[in-house]
């Protein structure tokens, strides 16, 4: 009789009764997972719907930047033409004043070194690019690297320097803008080409001993940044179209 009583009172196996609450908890976990999945799916759907609009805005911004750059190039060409025209007019006007003509001759003598006049001559060319493995920190060329190279070439005896065709002067700014390097706010494209006119052999042997040369040797040995320095028989560096007389007054 005791056996029949126990069977009627405890019809369920004890282990089943212990597992039952856990099964109910799994339903709650499943429901919570479903809710979270719906929330994530809705968020992803919103991002995907917004992606075309963001891509369009990005393309429009890129187009505006390219248009502004093209307009700036057109204006630089115009500036160069007007500068040449002004030079002809100034020479004609100053020819009647010996003192003014002497000052103009002194200005003309300084123009090649200041960047106001294009120059042609022998020199060296430094070509550099990012490391082949750019996932390492420090493996990309940045603005300070270009400045170090330029300063090293000046120190080694350069008389005129251009970076990717942009003539440098005392007012030239070499800066970083995000991932881009700019010279006078004009973005450069890789590889970077630095041309320097002067005594080619003196610069070739003197550059490694400068602070800039040591900087670049360190970058090449430790970060794999590539650079080559070679002599060139003839280089042509155009004038910086952004230079010119800003303020002048006549002496009384």
* Predicted confidence (pLDDT) per residue in 202-225, tens digit: 999 999 999 999 999 999 999 999
* Contact status, residue 163 vs residue 188, Cβ threshold 8 Å: yes
Per-residue pLDDT at 117 exceeds 70? yes
- Where b means 16+ CB within 10 Å and e means fewer, 170-185 reads eebebeeeeeebbbbe
Q: Which residue has the higher pLDDT, 52 or 211?
A: 211
Segment 11-36 mean pLDDT: 59
Predicted pLDDT at 7:
45
Q: Is the pLDDT of residue 185 over 60?
A: yes
Residue linked to tokens 């090649």: 112
What's the first-to-final CA gap in the chain, in angstroms? 135
CA distance 78 to 68: 15
Beta strands in the chain (DSSP E): 119-129, 160-163, 166-167, 174-177, 180-183, 186-187, 192-197, 226-237
Q: Which one is predicted more confidently, 224 or 99?
A: 224
- With beta carbons less than 8 A apart as the criterion, state whether 137 and 131 touch: no
Q: Is the pLDDT of residue 164 over 50?
A: yes
Rounded to whole angstroms, the Cα distance separating 195 from 122 reads: 10
d(CA 63, CA 116): 31
- Give the residues across from 129 on adjacent strands: 226
Q: What is the DSSP letter of 3?
A: H
Strand-strand pairing, 119-129 and 192-197: antiparallel
Tell me what the mean pLDDT of segment 172-181 comes to: 87
Contact between 235 and 120 under an 8 Å Cβ cutoff? The reply is yes
- Cβ-based neighbour number of residue 4 at 10 Å: 8
pLDDT over 90, % of the chain: 38
Per-residue pLDDT band for 3 (boundaries 50, 70, 90) equals: very low
Give the global pTM. Answer: 0.65
């Amino acid at each position: 009789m005791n056996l029949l009583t126990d069977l009627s009172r405890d019809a369920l196996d004890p282990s089943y009764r212990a597992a039952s609450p856990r099964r109910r908890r799994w339903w709650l976990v499943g429901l919570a997972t479903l809710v979270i999945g719906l929330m994530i799916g809705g968020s992803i759907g919103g991002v995907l719907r917004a992606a075309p609009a963001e891509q369009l805005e990005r393309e429009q911004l890129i187009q505006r930047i390219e248009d502004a750059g093209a307009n700036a190039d057109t204006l630089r060409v115009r500036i160069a033409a007007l500068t040449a025209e002004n030079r002809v007019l100034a020479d004609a006007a100053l020819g009647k004043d010996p003192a003014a003509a002497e000052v103009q001759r002194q200005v003309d003598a300084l123009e090649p070194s200041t960047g106001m006049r294009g120059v042609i001559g022998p020199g060296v060319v430094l070509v550099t690019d990012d490391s082949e493995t750019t996932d390492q920190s420090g493996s990309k060329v940045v603005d300070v690297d270009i400045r170090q190279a330029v300063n090293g070439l000046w120190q080694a005896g350069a008389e005129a320097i251009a970076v990717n065709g942009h003539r440098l002067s005392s007012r030239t700014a070499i800066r970083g803008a995000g991932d881009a390097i700019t010279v006078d706010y004009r973005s450069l494209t890789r590889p970077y080409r630095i041309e320097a006119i002067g005594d080619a052999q003196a610069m070739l042997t003197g550059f490694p001993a400068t602070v800039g040369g040591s900087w670049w040797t360190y970058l090449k040995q430790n970060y794999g940044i590539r650079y080559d320095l070679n002599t060139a028989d003839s280089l042509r560096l155009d004038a910086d179209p952004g230079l010119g007389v800003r303020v002048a007054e006549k002496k009384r």
